[in-house]
Structure 1
Amino acid sequence: MAASADGPAGKPLWTHLYVQVIAAIALGAAIGHFWPATGEALKPLGDAFIKLVKMIIAPVIFLTVATGIAHMRDLGKAGGTAVKAFAYFITVSSFALVVGLIVANTVHPGWAMAAVDPATLDVSKVTGYATKAHDLTVVGFLMDVIPNSVVGAFAEGNILQVLFFAIPFGIALATIGEAGQPVLRVLDSAAQAFFKLVAIFMRAAPIGAFGAFAFTIGKYGIGSVASLAGLVATFYITSILFVLVVLGAIAALNGFSILKLVRYLKEELLLVLGTSSSEAALPSLLEKMERAGAAKPVVGLVVPTGYSFNLDGTNIYMTLAALFIAQAMRIDLSLEDQLLLLGVAMLSSKGAAGVTGAGFITLAATLQVVPTVPLAGMTLILGIDRFMSECRALTNFVGNAVASLVVARWEGQLDREKLRMALDGGPEPLARQPVEADAD
């Protein structure tokens, strides 16, 4: 009887984090549905957990990147890794935009709605997003990557600013040789402490998922999805197929299974689902990719950068949502209009890198440049954006996990045996993982 209740590691099933998160999501959904006011009141639980994780993201990224580069024998590899990572990001994320465009033209989700008159829509509801989108410029974005001070980068928790400082700092440590070893040893020890802190904070994940999901259902309700079920279903199915077919093919070509990778990341994926925030699982993803055999310098460069530039789910959403709005308003976009939409989306999706709520903001930026589709149409999907953001975050998360393993393989810095053991559920070979048997 006990055996049936135990997980694969011999521990009771209820002690596994992913089981606790599933139970928390289900309980949160029930409370949000039956007692909406109570569900909305639980919002601080989700917000507090996300703040808890965001608090340590900046130091975790800095320590991972700086120590990874400092340990490198060939510093030229760091530049090569960055070039290959960006080539991968641009290729795959641009293809995601095309996928969204193709699906929208094939399924026509917007035509399922009654024709919408743009004059009846309240544009004030999306004015804030439009203002943020208008403020996004290439020059402004590039200038914002440079922090006003080293302390400021950490204080604001800006991932790109922390990366901007961590990379040259790691290079500096590597080039001063023996003089930098004492500092490097301190940073290595600090990295171990922070990853232990991540493990401690993750125990609170069920509480965060419970509060966040209860709020989402209590605030927006299942009914808000029903009215636009066609778009939501189309987006979820497209994203799932993108992960299984496109990312699955990329994974297969690089010697690993996308299904095994998803299973390996199940705890993180459930956390992203429960909190609607991929950042909540970022520190854990860094550790798991290294545990799966990807070298620390590669993981440190690819994963944080990918969080800003490799947004597969967001890109599918952008073109799919834009065409949905056009179809709902019975606006017939020509091939030239759609190609313009695609080109603008390719630029705006990169220009809003690192911006909170990037999915909705980049959609606003795109529609402002393509006047054929009224910006007011965004109000049609504002009510369900919270539910779609979960799918965007999940797809982005899996995409960045795949990217880190692919780039590591290209660089010859992927330990195949570690990868096999991790994806097959074998023992964890990473030294920083605690070994309980040593306590005897």
Structure 2
Amino acid sequence: MITTTELSTTPPAAKGWYQHLYVQVLVAIVAGVLLGHFAPATGEAMKPLGDAFIKLVKMIIAPVIFLTIVSGIAGMRDLAAVGRVAGKAFAYFLFFSTLALIVGLVVANVVQPGAGLNIDPASLDTSKVSDFAAKAHETTLTGFLVGIIPDTFLSALTEGNILQTLFVAVLFGIGLAIVGERAERVTTALEQVSLVVFKVVAILMKAAPIGAFGAMAFTIGKYGVGTLANLAMLVGTFYLTSILFVVVVLGLVARWAGFSIFSLIAYLKAELLLVLGTSSSESALPSLIEKMERAGCPKSVVGLVVPTGYSFNLDGTNIYMTLAALFIAQACNVDLTLGQQLLLLGVAMLSSKGAAGVTGAGFITLAATLSIVPSVPVAGMALILGVDRFMSECRSLTNFIGNAVATIVVARWEGRLDSEQLRRALAGEATPVDQLSADAVPAA
């Protein structure tokens, strides 16, 4: 086991500004936008770069989650504490996910972004949304719960399903905790393997600018910046609502937990730019796990809260669902009563869990919700298909920040947050623990 006394006290050499990951990703995003705008066909052709990078990251997500959770639970030994952390995490997720749905509902009623469009649902081309509707019908709450159980122990690690990996990792971690000292060698071996896996993550992160460039060039090349003009009211309302949710709601939560939401955003700037460039919060999941540990959150809390949050704490997706649903209703001149809106809210609470982890989950979840609430025409989804890609970036960013805040809050709620280490991390001050982490994982 490596201890802090074995670490060098020599501070790491300062990097040039161009060597920082967030600078490289930002430059790549700008280059992608320019290429997509001035050479759309070439921009579309860059799609494989973004897809390949996301596949690289997804390849390593299951091992990262498995090793983090197993070593965290095995180190706790107190199984009651594991259940307590999980219970607090889900209580937090339920409250703030519901609050996000309510915020979207209220904003849609106040701003009414779809009013005045006077769209006839029969005139819409629904061929492009039929696939999403079909997937929504296939995704039920029961199917989702049963799907958490993998076909085999190892398939959870090979099929890329986050919740299946979480399920197996929790079971294995509990098994190690029960066996106790006799499993010490296994626990130590897994901790050593985790150092290697995070080193692999560091290698993969070097390709982040290429992935962000390809994804952004494709998005702008295919849909064009001008696509936003037609539905600017909806997109603008969604972005503004998400920003206010992060700054006001999550900002107040952060203040209660003893840190600044702006300091946290600055701390995660490289990961947020990566999420922006790829429109996928999964692309930054391994780095989020590492950075939350570096910020004073215990591994056991990080291992439970972050992976489950990726499926159950989707603040951005929930804001989008109620806002988009009411936008479609307003655009199609469908007047929803308060009772119908509350029904929509209740269905969205369930469907947002049933479609978790599915590619394009936000759009599929919306389809699932509208198919259960017949008052709003599913055909109206064709209205927002063209700009959904732009809104997916905001969904991913909001979800990502929400999960980072949740991790710190649950750690503090448990009384296990190292406040001094959190302060130093958010202030950008190096610590011996940080130097160890920086040697094993990407320094952003």
Shorter chain as denominator, the TM-score bin is over 0.9
8 Å Cα contact 1:118-1:376 kept in structure 2: yes
In the alignment of these two chains, the number of paired residues is 428
Distance in 2, matches of 1:356 and 1:45, equals 18
Give the ranges of 4+ consecutive aligned residues of structure 1 lying more than 4 Å apart after TM superposition: none
Please state how far the C-alpha of 1:207 moved relative to its aligned partner: 0.5
Equivalent in the alignment of 2:124: 121
Alignment-derived partner of residue 224 in structure 2:
221
Q: Does structure 2 retain, via aligned residues, the 8 Å contact 1:292–1:422?
A: yes
- Find the counterpart in structure 1 of residue 74 from structure 2: 70
SS of residue paired to 2:114: helix
Q: Summarize the alignment of residues 129-208 of structure 1 with structure 2, pairs less than 5 Å apart.
A: 129-208=132-211
Query: Does residue 105 of structure 2 align to residue 101 of structure 1?
Result: yes
Unpaired runs of at least 5, structure 2? 1-11
> Following TM superposition, by how much is the alpha carbon of 1:9 offset from its aligned partner in structure 2, in angstroms?
7.7
8 Å contact from structure 2 (residues 104, 319) kept in 1: yes
Structure 2: distance between partners of 1:402 and 1:346 = 21
Q: Distance in 2 between matches of 1:343 and 1:255?
A: 33
Query: Which residues of 2 match residues 27-426 of structure 1 at below 5 A?
Result: 27-112=31-116, 114-426=117-429
Tell me if the contact between 1:278 and 1:393 (Cα under 8 Å) persists in the aligned partners: yes
Q: Provide the rounded CA distance (Å) in 2 between the counterparts of 1:73 and 1:176.
A: 9
Please say which of residues 206-215 and 136-145 is displaced more in the overlay: 136-145
The answer to whether the 8 A contact 2:254-2:409 is kept is yes
- 1:234-254 Cα offsets, whole Å, 9 max, x none, are 000000000000000011111
Distance (Å, rounded) in 2 between the aligned partners of 1:222 and 1:414: 43
Report the equivalent of 2:9.
Answer: none
How many angstroms apart in 2 are the aligned matches of 1:369 and 1:428? Answer: 52
Give the Cα–Cα distance (whole angstroms) in 1 for the partners of residues 57 and 377 of structure 2.
Answer: 38
Q: What SS class does the counterpart of residue 433 from structure 2 fall into?
A: coil
Tell me, in whole angstroms, the C-alpha distance in 2 between the residues paired with 1:205 and 1:45. Answer: 10
Supply the AA of the counterpart residue of 2:35.
I
Q: Displacement, 1:435?
A: 6.0
Q: Which is worse superposed, 396-405 or 165-174?
A: 165-174
3-state SS in 2 of match to 1:116: coil
Distance of 1:281 and 1:428 partners within structure 2: 23
Tell me what 1:5 maps to.
none
CA distance in 2, matches of 1:350, 1:365: 11
Structure 1: stretches of 5+ with no match in the other structure: 1-7
CA distance in 2: counterparts of 1:349 and 1:47, whole angstroms? 25
CA distance in 2, matches of 1:54, 1:416: 31
TM-score (norm 1): 0.95
Residue 129 of structure 1 aligns to a residue in which SS? helix
The amino acid of 2:71's aligned partner reads T
Are the aligned partners of 2:141 and 2:350 in contact in 1 as well (CA < 8 Å)?
A: no
CA RMSD of aligned residues (A): 1.3
Offset, 1:142: 1.1
The TM-score, its normalising length taken from structure 2, stands at 0.95
Same amino acid, percent of matched pairs: 68
Distance 1:253-1:204 versus aligned 2 partners, 3 A rule: same
Deviations 1:153-190 (A, max 9, x none): 11111000011100010111111122211111110001
CA contact (8 A) 2:77 2:178 kept: no
Shift, 1:85, TM fit: 0.2
